[in-house]
């Protein structure tokens, strides 16, 4: 049911913004909620960083992806779209910190590659154990839903990344 609601919202947003009634945003501020056009689709987003040459770093509020877009792709967010809760929840892995903290994190390339492989295995599902909440995110540890070959509990992502 949740996927249907997200799909319905995305379709409504596409219909609303594709009508050519809207114009790109005149002002762009960090933290501003907006609507971003990516190809034929539209997404609710938040401005994270204003870069040079009209490039803007946004986070897609319903998916969690970070995108680099042109200022011409950013539109004011309609009031009817603000009231619907965002689908993505900002999380961080418990006890894992970027080597050079930035707004978007800066982890070593090998760690990103390993985590991408670990988290996207088609046959696996992960259970998020919420450790604590801070002002801007939930701190979690991920647990593989399957037991190891001998029935033992598999290590959490934190245990795998720290060792």
pLDDT tens profile 66-107: 899 999 999 999 888 888 888 887 777 777 666 655 545 566
CB-based burial of residue 154 (10 Å sphere; 0-12 exposed, 13-18 middle, 19+ buried)? middle
The whole model's pTM is what?
0.65
pLDDT range class, residue 108, cuts 50, 70, 90: low
Residue closest to 154 by CA, chosen among 127, 122, 117: 127
Report the mean per-residue pLDDT for the chain: 78
- 31-35, 75-79, 100-104, 115-119: which has the minimum mean pLDDT? 100-104
Q: In 3D, which of 134, 129, 133, 35 has the Cα closest to residue 79?
A: 35
- Using DSSP's 3-state secondary structure scheme, residue 4 falls into helix
Most confident of 13-17, 42-46, 64-68, 109-113: 42-46
Confidence (pLDDT) at 23: 85
Lowest mean pLDDT among 22-31, 34-43, 45-54, 132-141: 132-141
Tell me the C-alpha distance between 44 and 133, whole Å.
24
């Amino acid at each position: 049911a949740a996927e249907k609601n997200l799909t319905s919202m995305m379709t409504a947003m596409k219909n609303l913004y594709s009508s050519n009634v809207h114009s790109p945003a005149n002002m762009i501020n960090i933290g501003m909620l907006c609507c971003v056009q990516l190809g034929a689709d539209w997404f609710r987003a938040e401005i994270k960083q204003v870069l040079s040459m009209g490039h803007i770093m946004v986070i897609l509020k319903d998916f969690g992806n970070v995108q680099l877009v042109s200022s011409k792709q950013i539109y004011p967010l309609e009031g009817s779209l603000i009231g619907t809760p965002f689908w993505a929840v900002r999380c961080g892995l418990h006890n894992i910190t970027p080597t050079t903290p930035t707004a978007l994190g800066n982890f070593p390339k090998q760690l990103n590659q390993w985590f991408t492989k670990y988290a996207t295995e088609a046959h696996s599902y992960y259970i998020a154990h919420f450790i604590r909440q801070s002002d801007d995110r939930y701190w979690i540890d991920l647990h593989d839903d399957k037991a190891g070959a001998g029935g033992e509990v598999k290590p959490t992502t934190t245990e795998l990344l720290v060792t």
